Amino acid sequence: MSENTRPEQAKKLADIDWNNLGFSYIRTDLRYLAHWKDGEWDGGTLTEDNMIHLAEGSTAIHYGQQCFEGLKAYRCADGTINLFRPDQNAARMRASCRRLLMPEISDEMFIDACKQVVQANEHFLPPYGTGGSLYLRPFVIGVGDNIGVRTAPEFIFSVFCVPVGPYFKGGLTPTNFITSGYDRAAPNGTGAAKVGGNYAASLLPGYEAKKRDFADVVYLDPATHTKIEEAGAANFFAITKDGKKLVTPKSPSILPSITKYSLLWLAEHRLGLEVEEGDIRIDELDHFSEAGACGTAAVITPIGGIQHGDDFHVFHSESEPGPVTRQLYDELVGIQYGDREAPEGWIVKVESAGG
């Protein structure tokens, strides 16, 4: 923070109501910025400037050559800072970069950038007990002078952060979803990559679902429209009627959710459930007693019911999360905030500057 921004930032911090943070942009002090040119990344720096000045022909603008990630840093009860599975986000970002013919970022560079951003903005990290966290948004964009459909001559890798609140202020609240005739991705398209085009394609279906008072859309498999793929910008899981098995869809057009794979592991190793990645047919929802959407933002959004055509299927209840959903949520959130023992390698500590 420079001399002349300090009073402004101090005011901004004083204005933050840590117990009532939502998921809105708040400009924090410093962000990481690295450039790729002539086959290599530079060393990267932290900058106060939250604007990016781009060549008008940049492929990110015209051809959607960009990808991004989302992960969080958490303040623990003992004052230390946890990053949750950043190596998984680094690996997924490399997969996205490969799919869009962009240069990859090593684990080391990715995690170092995240740590630098958390440390430089530590005073924006919500205190333990508020349920808040510091959301990190890494991204890679194709930039530089260009006009044809080809990979960019230069790239930018950046990470910025925003303090965010818990998704559900009053605890886990089920919401209702509706199936859509639209697809977010094609069968062999870019659904498994975290690229902007998938999200652009989801804006209209999401808007239409919300206009009808649903939380978001359940996307069906783009080839046959008979099996569940994703729930809004989150993965889907369901618990079988006997309460013994967690099932989650498997498909090459689903984004591999880090939260989902963490829940699968916890369901098997901590809750003693069977787990399966397989088909969940939209006409067989009565096989399941609980369902949820999972992702970094909310951890788990319990799904009350799903509207499909004229049929409205309620899982556990429209007002209360089911028992397995609640156990999974408590286990994962406990690990993220350092209250429960983490499986090996899930937590990366960020050294606190003591601020």
- To the nearest 10 degrees (0 to 180), the angle between helices 86-99 and 107-120 is 120
- State the Cα–Cα distance between residues 156 and 77, nearest whole angstrom: 36
CB of 297 to ligand PLP, least distance (A): 7
Nearer to ligand PLP, 192 or 273 (CB): 192
Cβ partners under 8 Å of residue 159, min gap 6? 31, 32, 113, 114, 116, 117, 136, 137, 138, 139
CB of 39 to ligand PLP, least distance (A): 30
Nearer to ligand PLP, 179 or 257 (CB): 257
CB of 73 to ligand PLP, least distance (A): 14
CB of 7 to ligand PLP, least distance (A): 36
Nearer to ligand PLP, 260 or 316 (CB): 260
The amino acid occupying position 151 is T
Nearer to ligand PLP, 44 or 132 (CB): 132
CB of 234 to ligand PLP, least distance (A): 5
Nearer to ligand PLP, 65 or 259 (CB): 259
- State the Cα–Cα distance between residues 326 and 171, nearest whole angstrom: 10
- State the Cα–Cα distance between residues 74 and 118, nearest whole angstrom: 10
CB-based burial of residue 345 (10 Å sphere; 0-12 exposed, 13-18 middle, 19+ buried)? exposed
Interface with ligand PLP (CB under 6 A): 70, 230, 233-235, 255, 257-260, 295-296
* Alpha-carbon torsion (206, 275, 166, 319), positive or negative: positive
